[in-house]
Chains A and B, each alone.
Chain A
């Protein structure tokens, strides 16, 4: 009996061992064709890294560019998400190559994911696995290798030769961005990604209203570097840009533009070239390049150290058929140097103008008009405990005008000097009573000229505002601007009585008969602003001007009555529109301003 029980137990033990061994030795199941297929033979598991849980200061991944190739690449513009499928090939600028079945990147989060039969080929090492995710901000690579069993590895700072085994991986490291309900903006066959900066798609098809249009090569810049947004093109009534090339620090854009109205240029093309760095930018443009009259612009700035900045603007206007020798050309150049001082700063501005730099015989202005100006501007200082703040400024300038000598009282002059001293005094918001506040400011400046006269300018502003809940505000503002040109006994020589003819009416305008260089402008402004919700802002502004000397027709001055409505509404989470147009109350026949503002934006 005992023997039988023992034999039964032994038999059971043997069976159980066999069963357990069978489980351990069982190969990976081949449930369906291709279950174990990989693009390359699996690499051997590396030795465990000695450091169990190192703390390494987060550093960006050591690559500045990612080249992506796949059977199809989809770009969701409004989500800044790229998805790619089929024969995905991700080549990083440090030489690391990752291949797989599918790819996703959320450009805002600055990380990408390759999944499905992943193969990593880095310097001296190769791995196979299920998925690889790279967080480019922190230089963290997360990998799910598959040998006999899966594992979890972490790579630090792009060092793929040293995996940290078993390290906890963020829960969302391998999650695909959710693009459900989001429309694809374009398809491409290849893309270049400059992390945190830009994208370049090749072989694109742009989705427009359900159709696909070939788009060639398209560049997108999504850098948070504001210097990329500098531009040198003057405003146009309509502008569509096509960024056809670019890189991490630059891009090139062709523009199709339209200008009607007074300028009446019609439809034209323009080109703009951008360069941007952390503390500098340069933007050059040709606008338009399709017309006889062309404008070449250069706008550049660089900050040298924390307290010094150089800016320049260069513009050449020329008449030119195509790219032939210009018929004539004029150049304007401006250079500005700003220096931060203790509690103040200075600004030196040099401007020059050359009316003819091509084909003018004789030259119009052999000695170009120019000016140099030095400004000193103090910081704002509060006066004790009073709700008053003041700011001082001073400066000087010399103007050199060789474009025909000026003369004053029979004395010719070439150079004109001026110096000035000014200041601003303003209040903080002073509470009058519940939700009602008063603010005011007073600005005065006196400018002395090397020829015997001086100019006084004062601006006085007072405003009472009433907050209506948190969504609306009403304010009444009065502003008075006085400008007086004092030339003593010479004032009649400078400002002789005149009665110009108003071109709008054909009648003499007597408003100037008494003008002796003292001008006054008064403004009453009534403003109602309403923000019912964060996605909507409405502003209604009526202003009445009382000016002396009064405006003459439509050639000088401003209309006495002005009303402007400005509405901005968010249409979708990605699209908003701003609409506005001033109204002139039939001022010499002018009712509405020539241009209506309709601007769509993100």
Chain B
């Protein structure tokens, strides 16, 4: 009787030791011992978790798969978890065992044995597995993260940073109303519209229409996700009329970082347009517009005088010479 009792104690001890060894070999260093209480949370879809074995504590985590390879399951978090030799791989919807290993991009609901840190059941789906509202998948991840297997000791990464360009605190990507107010050159025609062209809109010259608020100012409000970093320029509908710098050169585009806020405002000044007549004006010296002492192009509404009336030196080409361009416009072409 005593012998039987001692054998029973020995078996129990051995089992406990083996379990402890397994946990030690799989769990990350410093992980706490398995809790005594049996915690069986509801799964992401609200269904009961896998039936735990004796002394088995199960926690579930749902995520997208990177790979299932050599006995490990990799999630897009970058964590690789050991798959238990007796683990079941089932279809998430039908609960039937699947014959093929899951592939990349599939979604999986993994049940972990908290004692061993291994995945004991993997329910897979090609559709997104949305955790139930009352299930905290993030908290579940925090519980299973320590089971991730990694040969090397984790070391901090000091040069992690946000995506290039954006400078500022972390953002949530919420919509932020950004108002642009621009002062334009006094020479801007009153009938012209002013636009913002931006790399976010693939430099469409009519990307954002501005509304005139007085003779010298235009305004536009548009929304961007916080954290957006973009380049932009002002124009009057095409690239021939885009802004140039105060020094007359093509400046690099302006830049803007959308920080976390309810609304933002940017005030800019356009000093010159690319097509601006700076002084005498860039003359079109094509036929009919050659500069003359009478400078007819300088006076609005001056009619084209009848041919032969002196002293208007109007030039016309002989018939058949110099075909007109498709839209009758000579000189720098307008943008599409």
Contact = CB atoms under 8 A, between A and B. Distances in A.
A102 B104 contact: yes
A385 interface: no
B271 A380 contact: yes
B317 A355 contact: yes
Given A15-B10, A259-B326, A537-B209, A31 B128 contact: no
Interface in A389-431: 393-395, 397, 399, 401, 403-404, 406-409, 413, 416, 418, 420, 422, 424, 426, 429
Interface in A127-183: 130-131, 137-138, 142, 144, 146-152, 154, 165-171, 173-176, 180
A174 B66 contact: yes
A24 interface: yes
B301 interface: yes
Contact of A180 (B103, B128, B292, B332): B128
B152 A146 contact: no
A215 interface: no
Given A453-B293, A485-B295, A555-B303, A351 B21 contact: no
A216 interface: no
B325 interface: yes
Contacts of B327: 234-236, 259, 263
A382 to B, nearest CB: 12
A493 B238 CA distance: 42
A555 to B, nearest CB: 7
A18 to B, nearest CB: 8
Given A56-B159, A356-B321, A20 B216 contact: no
Contacts of A440: 215
B169 interface: no
B103 A101 contact: yes
Nearest to A326: B323
Interface in A480-502: 481, 483, 485, 493-496, 498, 500
A370 interface: yes
A236 B213 contact: no
Nearest to A401: B290
Contacts of B22: 20, 23
Interface stretch (B31-39, B42-50, B52-60, B81-89): B81-89
Given A424-B186, A534-B222, A102 B325 contact: no
A372 B98 CA distance: 81
B291 A371 contact: yes
Contact of B239 (A231, A263, A292, A347): A231
Contacts of A9: 6, 10, 13
A313 interface: yes
B11 A12 contact: yes
A164 B220 CA distance: 48
A369 B285 contact: yes
B30 interface: no
Contact of B74 (A130, A340, A370): A130
Nearest to B97: A32
A540 to B, nearest CB: 10
B308 interface: no
Contact of A168 (B157, B211, B323): B157
B285 A370 contact: yes
A475 B333 contact: no
A470 B323 CA distance: 51
A254 interface: no
Contact of B150 (A152, A268, A467): A152
A426 B206 contact: no
B95 interface: no
A317 to B, nearest CB: 5
Nearest to A462: B215
Contacts of A360: 321
B41 interface: no
Interface in B149-197: 149-161, 163-164, 177, 179, 186-187, 190-191, 193, 197
B265 to A, nearest CB: 10
Interface size grouping (class) on chain B: 35 or more
B259 to A, nearest CB: 17
A58 B295 CA distance: 59
A45 B151 contact: yes
Contacts of A265: 326
A332 B331 contact: yes
A303 B279 contact: no
B199 A224 contact: yes
Contacts of A498: 305, 309
B159 A58 contact: yes
Interface string B284-299: 1111001111110011
Q: Which of A22, A144, A394: most chain B Cβ within 10 A? A: A144
Contacts of B191: 541, 543, 562, 564
Interface stretch (A203-211, A242-250, A544-552, A583-591): A544-552
Contacts of A494: 293-294, 311
A463 interface: yes
Contacts of B332: 299, 313, 334
A551 B301 contact: yes
B311 A537 contact: no
A217 interface: no
Contact of B2 (A4, A291, A477): A4
A24 B206 contact: no
Interface in A287-324: 287-288, 291-293, 295, 297, 299, 301, 303, 307-309, 313, 315, 317-319
A429 B152 contact: no
B256 interface: no
A189 interface: no
Nearest to A557: B301
A42 to B, nearest CB: 8
Nearest to B325: A295
Contact of B18 (A16, A235, A307): A16
A399 B313 CA distance: 14
Contact of B211 (A180, A351, A537): A537
A599 interface: yes
A133 to B, nearest CB: 9
A23 B23 CA distance: 10
Q: Which of A117, A234, A347, A576: most chain B Cβ within 10 A? A: A234
Given A23-B18, A494-B294, A498-B305, A173 B279 contact: no
Contact of A116 (B87, B103, B161, B331): B103
A413 B311 CA distance: 13
Contacts of A464: 214
B139 interface: no
B329 interface: yes
Nearest to A521: B300
Interface string A214-241: 0000000010101011111111100100
A232 B333 contact: yes
B328 A404 contact: no
A235 B301 CA distance: 25
Contacts of A592: none
Given A426-B186, A529-B211, A406 B313 contact: yes
A530 B210 CA distance: 10
Interface of B: 2-3, 6-7, 9-11, 13-15, 17-18, 21-22, 25, 64, 66-72, 74, 76-78, 80, 83-85, 87, 89, 98-101, 103-105, 128, 149-161, 163-164, 177, 179, 186-187, 190-191, 193, 197, 199-207, 209-217, 219-223, 231, 233, 238-239, 246-250, 253, 271-272, 278-280, 282-287, 290-295, 298-306, 309, 311, 313, 315, 317-318, 320-336
The 6 closest A-B pairs by CB, nearest first: A12-B10, A166-B152, A529-B211, A8-B6, A28-B71, A19-B18
19 contacts: A12-B17, A29-B83, A101-B67, A146-B69, A149-B150, A176-B64, A231-B333, A317-B330, A338-B249, A351-B282, A353-B287, A377-B279, A397-B280, A473-B219, A483-B299, A485-B299, A535-B222, A550-B301, A568-B209
